[in-house]
Amino acid sequence: MTSMPKCRQVRLARHPEAMIQPSDLVIAETQLPPSGPTDVVVRNRWFRVSISTRLMADRDAQAVEGIPFPALSPGDTLADGAIGEVLACPPDSGFMVGDFVSHPFGWRDHAVVPVGQCVALGRGPIEPAAYLGHGWTAYAALTRGIRIRPGDTVFVSSAAGAIGSMAGQVARRLGAARVIGSTGSRDKADWMRADLGYDAAVLRNGGPLADQLAAAAPDGIDVFVDMVGGDHLVAAVGAAREGARFVLLGALTAELDRQGASVVAPAALDSFQLILKDITLRGYSADRDVAAFAEWIAWQRDAGLHFARTMVAGLDAAPQALHDACEGRLRGVVIVAL
Ligand SMILES: NC(=O)c1ccc[n+]([C@@H]2O[C@H](COP(=O)([O-])OP(=O)(O)OC[C@H]3O[C@@H](n4cnc5c(N)ncnc54)[C@H](OP(=O)(O)O)[C@@H]3O)[C@@H](O)[C@H]2O)c1
118 in ligand 1 pocket by Cβ < 6 Å? no
165 in ligand 1 pocket by Cβ < 6 Å? no
Phi, psi for residue 154 in degrees, rounded to 5: -120, 135
93 in ligand 1 pocket by Cβ < 6 Å? no
Q: Kindly give the number of the ligand 1 atom that is closest to the alpha carbon of 255.
A: 45
Co-location of 124 and 153 in the same domain: no
C-alpha 15: how far from chain center: 22
Co-location of 199 and 314 in the same domain: no
d(C-alpha 211, C-alpha 337), whole Å:
41
Co-location of 125 and 15 in the same domain: yes
Co-location of 66 and 154 in the same domain: no
CATH number at residue 191: 3.40.50.720
Other Cβ atoms within 10 Å of 249 Cβ, number: 27
Co-location of 283 and 160 in the same domain: yes
Output the CA–CA distances (angstroms, integers) from residue 312 to 29, 218, 336, in the order listed. Answer: 20, 39, 5
Domain count, the chain: 2
Pairing of strands 82-88, 200-203: unpaired
Other Cβ atoms within 10 Å of 272 Cβ, number: 9
Per DSSP, the three-state class of 37 is coil
pLDDT, residue 23, reads 98
262 in ligand 1 pocket by Cβ < 6 Å? no
Nearest CA owner, ligand 1 atom 27: 328
22 in ligand 1 pocket by Cβ < 6 Å? no
| Residue span of the structural domain in which 189 resides | 135-288
Co-location of 269 and 155 in the same domain: yes
Nearest CA owner, ligand 1 atom 30: 253
Give 194 Cα–ligand 1 centroid separation in angstroms. 21
pLDDT, residue 1, reads 52
Give 322 Cα–ligand 1 centroid separation in angstroms. 12
Nearest CA owner, ligand 1 atom 32: 253
Maximum CA extent, the chain: 69
Asked whether residue 299 is domain-assigned, the answer is no
d(C-alpha 288, C-alpha 295), whole Å:
14
Q: Which residues contact 245 (CB under 8 A, 6 or more apart)?
A: 146, 147, 222, 223, 224, 279, 280, 282
Answer yes or no: are the C-beta atoms of 293 and 131 closer than 8 Å: no
53 in ligand 1 pocket by Cβ < 6 Å? no
Answer yes or no: are the C-beta atoms of 4 and 35 closer than 8 Å: yes
Give 250 Cα–ligand 1 centroid separation in angstroms. 7
Co-location of 188 and 88 in the same domain: no
The kind and range of the H/E element at 171 are helix 164-173
Q: Please calculate the CA angle 331-337-338 and round it to the nearest 5 degrees.
A: 160
Asked whether residue 301 is domain-assigned, the answer is no
d(C-alpha 4, C-alpha 140), whole Å:
39
Co-location of 208 and 110 in the same domain: no
44 in ligand 1 pocket by Cβ < 6 Å? no
Q: Which residues pair with 112 in a beta bridge?
A: 41
Other Cβ atoms within 10 Å of 283 Cβ, number: 12
Co-location of 140 and 282 in the same domain: yes
Q: Kindly give the number of the ligand 1 atom that is closest to the alpha carbon of 334.
A: 20
The tens place of each residue's pLDDT in the chain, 338 residues long, gives 557 788 999 999 999 998 999 999 999 999 999 999 999 999 999 999 999 999 999 988 777 776 777 899 999 999 999 999 999 999 999 999 999 999 999 999 999 999 999 999 988 788 999 999 999 999 999 999 999 999 999 999 999 999 999 999 999 999 999 999 999 999 999 999 999 999 999 999 999 999 999 999 999 999 999 999 999 999 999 999 999 999 999 999 999 998 888 889 999 999 999 999 999 999 999 988 989 999 999 999 999 999 999 999 999 999 999 999 999 999 999 999 99
Co-location of 234 and 128 in the same domain: no
Q: Kindly give the number of the ligand 1 atom that is closest to the alpha carbon of 286.
A: 3
Closest of 278, 213, 223, 286 to residue 249, by C-alpha: 286
Co-location of 257 and 166 in the same domain: yes
Query: Radius of gyration of the chain from Cα atoms?
Result: 20
Asked whether residue 295 is domain-assigned, the answer is no
Give 160 Cα–ligand 1 centroid separation in angstroms. 9
pLDDT, residue 24, reads 98
Co-location of 147 and 237 in the same domain: yes
